[in-house]
Amino acid sequence: MNIVALLQDAERPAIIEPDGRTLSFTALRQRVGTVAGGLVDLGLRPGDRVVLLVPMSIELYVALLALFHVGATAVLIDPSAPISTILTRHAPVAMIGSPRAHLLRLKLRPLRGLGLYVSTGFIPIPHRRLSQIQGVIPPVDPGDHPALLTFTTGTTGTPKAIARSHAFLLTQHRILAEHLRLAPGDVDMPTLPVFLLHSLASGATCVLADADLRRPGDVDPDRLIDQIRTVGVTSISGSPAFFGPLARRLLERGECLSGLEHLHTGGARVPVGMLKALCRAAPEAEISIVYGSTEAEPIAVLPVRENLQDLEDGARSGRGALVGQPVRQLQVRLDEDEILVAGPHVNQGYDQDPEADAENKVRENGRVWHRTGDAGYRDADGRLWLVGRAGGRVGGVWPMQVEAPAELLPFVVKAGLAEVAGEAVLACAVSGAPAGWEAMVTEAAGGVRVVEVEAVPVDPRHNAKVDRRRLEAMLSGR
């Protein structure tokens, strides 16, 4: 069984694109089946690796689900990732891409000489058109081959490949369903490609955001607000960088989004100020912080409204970032401040990367523990708090314990801790800061020296995690 089997046969919309183009669940099921049959006729077989270089669109999910149906392995790579390096190590036999992506064939050696090229539009080099691929729907037999190959962000090194089986994806979907509650009739706006699979499997209509999600921090909030209202979105999931501009613009306009029932955010520490703004901007919505990683999603979930005071008090007192109770399916332990997790939706090992396995997996008595790389602790109620990356003290200070209190000051847009010549330095991007603001931040952050920067560098995927290597290089050159 795979995710395709969970797609409902219904005439309500499955996917709605920003321009209004829509595909129903019935049409999606049919199209996925005929494309799968056509791919088999073109020689694709279970276990074949196919790189997908298509932006979030109807075509992406038709292609992805068709590959699931065939039993092939879909390889999804972030546009910001080192594509050539990844494909050299995880060589595909075929490519499905947008016309723009196919231009990479002219300069990336790993994309040359593949057995099959499929494009979502016209290109003047040999290819098959996705819209013209069709065949007899094959029987569903994915076997034991990986369904999906995705990659970590690589903010702390080279991106690592994670292979997810069909059984793993189904398990992950069932666990997410306990926390990201979706049902037929819901209208969801997921901003991460894999989360959309969960939404489709739940029977929810999926709305593709009218934004360039390669840069979630640069979204146009006015366009998004109009889209959310026009389509009647009831649920949204995204990074703090995605929600920040949305909440700020709504409050600037003195408006709120009625009808929103659920907001889920994560992928980085979520500033308390942004959470308070979201509570005002979406007064009817349940808001939650979802803590997890590519290797284990979700790890913990925190309802925000009932924990808002604890979040603020914890940030102000330097306790770190509260992320909530671990989900019930997980086992959690701490090893010298590092959080380790084990459970049915925890990745058991990396693809073709024994060094990464040795570094990040602990095998004990038939159980695989994943080292999250996050440092933290559990409070008296069993809730998880994060303080930084394991082994990542900066000048003897945990980053989240000083960045969070600094960002409670209304003029601090973003704070990032870095080590310069052995000293912890807190870089702050500010707006409308009063005279003597540096002393105010230093006091809030426990005495750490403060410098002003135009912008704090962040990770490419979520636009929210501090990129400490870039920040240290930037401050060292001042």
- 46-84 pLDDT, tens per residue? 999 999 999 999 999 999 999 999 999 999 988 778 889
Instruction: Tell whether the model's pLDDT for residue 153 goes beyond 80.
Output: no
What is the rounded distance in angstroms from the CA atom of residue 445 to the CA atom of residue 386? 16
All CATH 3.30.300.30 domain ranges in the chain, comma separated: 400-476
Write down the pLDDT at residue 462.
79
* Residue-level pLDDT at 156: 53
114 has which bridge partners?
A: none
Buried b / exposed e along 80-93 (16+ C-beta atoms within 10 A) = ebebeebbeebebb
Written as one letter, the residue type at 32 is V
What separation in angstroms does the CA of 323 have from each of 269, 289, 374, 384?
A: 9, 6, 12, 6
**pLDDT number for residue 140:** 66
pLDDT in tens, 84-113: 989 999 999 999 999 999 999 999 999 999
**Average pLDDT taken over every residue of the chain:** 93
Would you say residue 157 has pLDDT above 70? no
Taking residues 134-147, report their average pLDDT: 80
Residue 62 has what pLDDT? 97
CATH 3.40.50.980 residue spans of the chain: 3-151
Calpha distance 49→148 (Å, rounded): 9
What pLDDT score was predicted for residue 155? 57
Pick the closest to residue 472 from 461, 462, 457 (CA basis).
Answer: 457
pTM over 0.75: yes
For 114-128, what is the mean pLDDT?
Answer: 94
User: Is residue 390 predicted with pLDDT exceeding 60?
Assistant: yes
Kindly state the percentage of the chain with pLDDT values over 90.
85
**CA dihedral over 354, 358, 362, 365, signed as positive or negative:** positive
pLDDT band at 142 (very low <50, low <70, confident <90, very high): low
Instruction: List the one residue out of 314, 254, 250 whose CA is nearest residue 278.
Output: 250
In CATH, which of 3.30.470.10, 3.30.300.30, 3.40.190.10, 3.40.50.970 is domain 400-476? 3.30.300.30
**Token output for 370:** 């994943």
CA dihedral sign of residues 263, 268, 272, 274: negative
The β-bridge partners of 384 are 324, 378
Q: What percentage of the chain exceeds 70 in pLDDT?
A: 98
On the question of pLDDT at 248 being above 70, the answer is yes
For the residues 126-135, what does the mean pLDDT come to? Answer: 94
pLDDT, tens digit, for every residue of 251-294? 999 999 999 999 999 989 999 999 999 999 999 999 999 999 98
Q: For residues 64 and 42, what is the distance between their CA atoms, to the nearest angstrom?
A: 16
Instruction: Determine the pLDDT at residue 154.
Output: 64
Would you place residue 459 in the very low, low, confident or very high pLDDT band (cuts 50, 70, 90)? confident
Q: Tokens standing for 220?
A: 């146009």
CATH of region 172-389, choose from 3.40.50.12780, 3.40.50.920, 3.40.50.720, 3.40.50.450: 3.40.50.12780
Q: If pLDDT is split at 50, 70 and 90, which confidence band does 460 have?
A: confident
Whose tokens are 């690592």? That residue is: 160
Domain with CATH 3.40.50.12780 in the chain: 172-389
Q: Average pLDDT in the 308-312 region?
A: 97
Predicted pLDDT at 43: 95
Domain 3-151 belongs to what topology? Answer: Rossmann fold (3.40.50)
Angle at 352 between CA 347 and CA 354, to 5 degrees: 80
For 59-68, write each residue's pLDDT tens digit. 999 999 999 9
Residue position matching structure tokens 């925890």 = 346
Burial call 368-403: b when 16+ CB within 10 Å, e when fewer: bbbbbbbbbeeeeeebbbbbbbbebbbeebbbbbbb
